[in-house]
Amino acid sequence: MGRRIRVGEARGFTLIELMVVLTIMAILVSIAVPRYMNSLTKAREAALLEDLYIMRDAIDKHYADTNEYPSSIQGLVDKKYIRTVPVDPFTDKSDTWVEVESEEGNGISDVHSGSPGVGRNAVPYNEW
């Protein structure tokens, strides 16, 4: 036969036990959140580097094929060097890229992020 519980003898957790569990959970969360935020930034920086590499490579290929720089990033899309203008991972927009005019002044020779933020390497994203 099972043990009978008398009236007034309720089972459950005490307030102190609940407080200890909540404190442990708070400590674990305070360790995990900064690591999670750092990993998000790291992933965005990797995406930015990849986008910049692809667009710069397309600019170089356009120049090698036509002996002139493209008029804009959209010009690369129009001539099928890239499928679409990528979204800047830090501004979440595709129209914030900063196009660098070529020395001859006949198109763009480079592209940078339009984000005002600073990378984990202390270099602003718009200088990458």
Q: Please list, in sequence order, all residues whose beta carbon lies within 8 angstroms of the beta carbon of residue 11, skipping any fewer than 6 positions away.
A: 5
pLDDT for 11 equals 78
Contact indicator for 48, 89 with CB cutoff of 8 Å = yes
DSSP calls for 14-69: -HHHHHHHHHHHHHHHHHHHHHHHHHHHHHHHHHHHHHHHHHHHHHHHHHHHHSS-
pLDDT tens, per residue, the chain with 128 residues: 566 656 666 678 899 999 999 999 999 999 999 899 999 999 999 999 999 999 999 999 999 999 999 999 999 999 999 999 999 999 999 999 999 999 888 899 999 999 999 999 999 999 99
CA distance 52 to 102: 17
Q: Give the type of residue at 107.
A: G
pLDDT for 104 equals 84
Q: What angle do CA 88, 93, 98 make, to 5 degrees?
A: 60
DSSP one-letter code for 107: S
CA distance 89 to 7: 62
* pTM over the 0.85 mark: no
